[in-house]
Amino acid sequence: MVNGIVAGGPDTMRRMALLHRAELRPTKLELLAAWLPGRHWFQGPAGADVVRVAGYRFDDPAGAVGIETMLVRAGDGPVHQVPLTYRGAPLDGADDWLVGTTEHSVLGPRWVYDACGDPVYAAALAAAILAGTGQAEEFFEVDGERRYREPSLTLTGGGAADAPTVGAIRRVVDGDPALIGTDTVELAVLRRPGAGAERAGVPLLGAWPGQPTALPLAYAVPR
């Protein structure tokens, strides 16, 4: 199985994610199959395979952290939104948010986190919602040539304000939605898009195959 994890994109003006064609052991879906049943907000039949429905990426301007949000389903359960960050070393103080570790055939060991506990994700999400920076364009490099990969999910909405300086995460409530509190913005990440009522704040919307009507994925409220 071919997988890609990116450690950020160097071309930040284009919001680009350069993906590696590589083997992951265990794979991202295998990590999620072991991790998701322990989340109190997860719904799905016991033992069912976790499959990818769609996904999107953000760019880390520093080029150090991969940021990917996966929409997944187990069996006939609902679609769940799972934002992940990929790091080349453990994130200090984030043991509670560790999904697992994987061996990447190009990049070596990677620490995979529930991104709701990662400040790099909080900054990228706030920028996407409030400044309308959008998702990263995805490319594979094949024989020295970069090839564009069509997105499986289209983000819409967002504001046109300056992106806030998010800084440190002050609190995280692991629920549905997951609530991320920082000094400058409050973020809400919907674990099951379309399952709850609308919230206050600026929304980020997404549509994907099988879900042509855009649904709220997250909200931001500047402080």
Q: What confidence tens digit (pLDDT) does each residue in 94-143 have?
A: 999 999 999 976 777 999 999 999 999 999 999 999 998 889 887 766 66
Specify if 4 maps to a domain.
no
| Per-residue pLDDT reduced to its tens digit, 170-182 | 999 999 999 999 9
The range of the structural domain enclosing residue 194 comes to 12-222
Specify if 201 maps to a domain.
yes
Specify if 183 maps to a domain.
yes
Specify if 79 maps to a domain.
yes
| Per-residue pLDDT reduced to its tens digit, 189-211 | 999 999 877 888 999 999 999 99
Contact 188, 219 (CB under 8 A): yes
Specify if 2 maps to a domain.
no
Tokens 């039949």 correspond to 45
Give the count of domains, the chain: 1
Confidence of residue 14 (pLDDT cuts 50, 70, 90): very low
Among candidates 70, 72, 106, 67, which has minimal Cα distance to 87?
67
Specify if 202 maps to a domain.
yes
| Per-residue pLDDT reduced to its tens digit, 42-98 | 999 988 999 999 999 999 989 899 999 999 999 999 999 999 999 999 999 999 999
- 137-142/16-19 β-pairing: parallel
Specify if 1 maps to a domain.
no
The pLDDT score that the predictor gives to residue 13 is 40
Specify if 3 maps to a domain.
no
Q: Is a pLDDT exceeding 50 seen at residue 1?
A: no
Residue length, the chain?
223
Q: Please report the DSSP string for 44-112 in residue order.
A: --TTPPEEEEEEEEE--TTS--EEEEEEEEETTS--EEEEEEEESSPPTT-GGGEEEEEEETTTEEEEE
The pLDDT score that the predictor gives to residue 4 is 42
